[in-house]
Structure 1
């Protein structure tokens, strides 16, 4: 007998006068059973302010962004961890974009409810509304976070409003027949609780029709009271069936899989044949593999068989695939999906046919400055792509940079990559401590100070300095610092003393990006990247133009002098 699974139905209605901009967004996603068991189903509603020129975009972004990232989180994360981390990452992106905008913003209220097993999980910020109808009991589950300014009501604690995000969280048991209503602040002052119950119960079998009745009634009530027909949107979700209590678990998830045994060339695992062993460290194993079904060559990364289940790196390993999947850039290695279900704990990456930056530098000692700056610019784009997704790489050095036969740079090895959030710094430090620091690590890692994007900027600049000069910028490697007083020993060695071809402006940029004090480095990666652009070499045409311009200028002034001389002679003759 097939076990009963979670089942739900939903309906929607949206009404907005043409003269007003649409500013709300809502959605329901009910995934296939394997994902449904691990992550559940989602229902969301988002709303921005009427006076926001990007209101519609803000509402759509928060809903689509949450759905895209939530269902991609690692299976071993629980609902609260997954949703909270996704919302904080989304908020950080929206807030960073808002700081660069003068006309409109990505600020929006958002209510998201996740139905998994026999429980519902509500995540709420702003002033959107969520109600539950159970029998004849109609209860508001969300809290209104509203601020009155100049007679207008604005949402507070909303998505994208501040760098930190306060999220209201609540979990509750589900019952078959529960109805959840999602709507926006515009409905306040129109319908009473009894109206909701009556209009929904009038014919609860058709949820779209029930939402239409609510929209028509709210619009009519608003017009009767003289404040016009604002936009109204309603979304109803009904719980049709619940799994048995014994079935309320995600099953064998990614985090429960065993660590692969030690593998060698010729071994096979999950339809993958090991072609070679790329690296063995105390924390991980990296193999070059071929899919026996498709013939694709890929890179398999797995934890070291010696790791215990409580090891901080093992916990971090479970996040690496999700972290890298968030980045879409040709300069960052791609995650590959296996052609069959995994029976062991590992993830697959695209295989880059090339060599590390360290190997490239040894084979091309005579490479010109332009070639080296091209590599530096590509590497800067890779790091900037990570930062756009609020990620820190934390281990940028020549052995983690790959260059293919066409000169394409690909940043790899995300063993220390960290999603910047409130509770992750302690675990990140534990992982860095296990992996160890490199000579390109920023000083704050050795001194256990706060780290951030400028820490990656230091590692990037140190790697570029090495690429241009073959040496390090300081006689004392920052990873050997023991106290803050040791910072005084870090005296920058000009790159021009080691490579006279380095322009003065580039040397000054490297000096700033490599400042031992994190606060004194470039504020944004884009500023540093602008300094990495190759110096402009004038072409033949521009050279000719530069010689012609002085000639033209000389002829002009000669003509002026001749005219003045003629006028002077005429004035003498007329006396």
Structure 2
């Protein structure tokens, strides 16, 4: 059975202290949030400190707003996003709001501007985001090692929230160990303390005591600014975790037609695979639902079981008419199964078998719908990883949906528990070469798989034949030879062939930068076609070519003559 993640979670102790010091106005702000349950695994622990600029009477409001926005809005971002993506989006939004408040000011130095630093602990890593001269440092063996670099130009901040329409945030990821100590501070404190001071403070009974001692030390050494410090000590790191939906669920006996399961009436068995037993059921309102119960082979394989439960988890977090959806259950779940909305229709593989050689318009229509579904996944930092004709469903109205989400790579989940989802279970014929060569995998890998499908729809064959199966290194990847889709046996336009060639390039970075651009090039000659059909000037306009060449040669002769005369 899956392991209960609440028994194996990230744990930390936090201390905090802030003081206006000798100033009449407090312009620092700080905060921390330690969530429980699912959010602890998928979002982590957040600490943040902000320091308003001294010249502004409202910069304290800016510091307070920025910290509160991160502590609140970060936890509302999709669970599938990485820390960097989620926190950066929130902080850019905070920056835009602060900058908007400053637009009418003649002098930005009197506006809502603040330095900012955050530490987010998730899984086995710490994530640092920073702008300005607030700091995050790691303490070890009497040394205070800064993880941030101050953004200052003389006495002025070179970077801060609210100072410009966008802010360049520094980001750094650091591995965690049990016992690690991190210190977040504003310049009123860290400019007056050392690693030895932190070492002494950590001998006190609590981390709050340690923070107060550091503030007192900085004040005694002449700090003339506001002072804020946070100390976090990692006390436990997670060793293993499962997706929240897998926790504490019982394995159910296989139902029979007519049985009732959590308010669902089982109608009939649909299929059986090594991974699962699939049944058609109906809820009390008559809506049809597909139930998947793990097979014994899946139950004996932890990685396969995590993949099994992933499908519904992903479906509940992606909203698109072109991606299969999870089903709403009439009663709480009593056992381990996956519930998905029933989708009538046939697979694209069946359609390709029944109607080989798809017309261009039909291919484009199917491509557009698949791309819409893929973009919904990619916006959530998810990669499908198993796009193939068997996983594309088409109903009687021609609506296309991506199915089988058990292979999806979820960046945020992998970040929380690296390797949690096991090895790629994709299909070799549609697998991008970077999976096999060890190159970087990205959303462009789904682009490759889609292009293979479209190529096959038009030609009935694969673009690289059996070459992909022999890839083991990047050198093998570079040696792939594309077989043109356009031939005497079909009517594939040259510009469509050029678009497919680019989307199928062995080097992921030479594929399209956006799926929308790929789709556009399938409809009309685009950048790929122009690149593939570049005609030299000598061929396009021989007269201009020879005129230009004559002029160049004449100039060279004049230069040589001048050099000889000198």
Name the TM-score class by shorter chain. Answer: 0.5 to 0.7
Corresponding residue number in structure 1 for 2:297:
306
Task: Give the secondary structure class of the aligned counterpart of 2:452.
Answer: helix
Write the distance in 2 (CA, Å) between the matches of 1:323 and 1:108: 33
Equivalent of 2:170, from 161, 164, 168? 161
Per-residue CA distance 1:517-566 (angstroms, 9 max, x = gap):
44443344443233234689xxxxxxxxxxxxxxxxxxxxxxxxxxxxxx
Deviation at 1:379, TM superposition (A): 0.9
Write the distance in 1 (CA, Å) between the matches of 2:66 and 2:349: 44
Corresponding residue number in structure 2 for 1:110:
118
Shift of the 436–383 alpha-carbon distance from structure 1 to 2, 3 Å rule, reads closer
Worse-matched range after superposition: 324-333 or 395-404 = 324-333
Please state if 1:90 is matched with 2:98: no
Show structure 2 runs of 5+ residues with no match. Answer: 1-17, 21-26, 94-98, 101-114, 137-143, 161-166, 194-218, 231-241, 527-566
2:512/2:518 contact within 8 Å kept:
yes
Write the distance in 2 (CA, Å) between the matches of 1:49 and 1:509: 51
Deviation at 1:461, TM superposition (A): 0.4
Shift of the 436–368 alpha-carbon distance from structure 1 to 2, 3 Å rule, reads closer
Deviation at 1:376, TM superposition (A): 0.4
Corresponding residue number in structure 2 for 1:214:
none
Deviation at 1:514, TM superposition (A): 1.5
Shift of the 35–372 alpha-carbon distance from structure 1 to 2, 3 Å rule, reads closer
Deviation at 1:493, TM superposition (A): 3.1
1:125/1:167 contact within 8 Å kept:
no
Deviation at 1:462, TM superposition (A): 0.3
TM-score by length of 2: 0.57
Corresponding residue number in structure 2 for 1:10:
none
Per-residue CA distance 1:348-389 (angstroms, 9 max, x = gap):
223223322223344555864222201101212222322222
Deviation at 1:41, TM superposition (A): 11
Equivalent of 1:379, from 346, 349, 370? 370
Write the distance in 1 (CA, Å) between the matches of 2:432 and 2:523: 23
Corresponding residue number in structure 2 for 1:462:
452
Shift of the 411–57 alpha-carbon distance from structure 1 to 2, 3 Å rule, reads farther
Corresponding residue number in structure 2 for 1:147:
149
Per-residue CA distance 1:31-56 (angstroms, 9 max, x = gap):
8xx8799999977647599899x999
Shift of the 378–23 alpha-carbon distance from structure 1 to 2, 3 Å rule, reads farther
Corresponding residue number in structure 2 for 1:256:
248
Query: Within 5 Å, which residues of 2 pair with 1:367-406?
Result: 368-406=359-397
Corresponding residue number in structure 2 for 1:334:
325
Worse-matched range after superposition: 310-319 or 372-381 = 310-319
Task: Give the secondary structure class of the aligned counterpart of 1:473.
Answer: coil
Write the distance in 2 (CA, Å) between the matches of 1:303 and 1:42: 33
Please state if 1:441 is matched with 2:431: yes
Question: Aligned residue pairs: how many?
Answer: 432
Write the distance in 2 (CA, Å) between the matches of 1:364 and 1:352: 21
2:468/2:480 contact within 8 Å kept:
no
Shift of the 451–226 alpha-carbon distance from structure 1 to 2, 3 Å rule, reads closer
Shift of the 475–325 alpha-carbon distance from structure 1 to 2, 3 Å rule, reads same
Equivalent of 2:485, from 475, 482, 494? 494
Shift of the 28–264 alpha-carbon distance from structure 1 to 2, 3 Å rule, reads same
Worse-matched range after superposition: 371-380 or 383-392 = 383-392
1:512/1:522 contact within 8 Å kept:
yes
Deviation at 1:27, TM superposition (A): 8.5
Write the distance in 2 (CA, Å) between the matches of 1:508 and 1:39: 41
Q: Aligned-pair RMSD on alpha carbons?
A: 5.8
Query: Within 5 Å, which residues of 2 pair with 1:68-217?
Result: 68=76, 86-88=82-84, 90=86, 109-111=117-119, 125-126=128-129, 145-148=147-150, 149-151=152-154, 152=156, 161-162=170-171, 165-166=173-174, 185=186
Per-residue CA distance 1:263-307 (angstroms, 9 max, x = gap):
454343222233344442212333332223x43322333432223
Write the distance in 1 (CA, Å) between the matches of 2:358 and 2:517: 26
Corresponding residue number in structure 2 for 1:66:
74
1:313/1:431 contact within 8 Å kept:
no
Deviation at 1:459, TM superposition (A): 0.5
Deviation at 1:416, TM superposition (A): 1.4
Equivalent of 1:478, from 460, 468, 474? 468
Write the distance in 1 (CA, Å) between the matches of 2:256 and 2:355: 32
Write the distance in 2 (CA, Å) between the matches of 1:339 and 1:300: 14
Task: Give the secondary structure class of the aligned counterpart of 1:307.
Answer: helix
Corresponding residue number in structure 1 for 2:264:
272
Task: Give the secondary structure class of the aligned counterpart of 2:286.
Answer: coil
Shift of the 126–512 alpha-carbon distance from structure 1 to 2, 3 Å rule, reads closer
2:51/2:186 contact within 8 Å kept:
no
2:43/2:83 contact within 8 Å kept:
no
Shift of the 494–41 alpha-carbon distance from structure 1 to 2, 3 Å rule, reads closer
1:391/1:419 contact within 8 Å kept:
yes
Task: Give the secondary structure class of the aligned counterpart of 2:291.
Answer: strand
Write the distance in 2 (CA, Å) between the matches of 1:445 and 1:400: 19
Deviation at 1:397, TM superposition (A): 0.5
TM-score by length of 1: 0.57
Corresponding residue number in structure 2 for 1:197:
none
Per-residue CA distance 1:284-333 (angstroms, 9 max, x = gap):
333332223x4332233343222344432223334444344343333222
Shift of the 129–398 alpha-carbon distance from structure 1 to 2, 3 Å rule, reads same
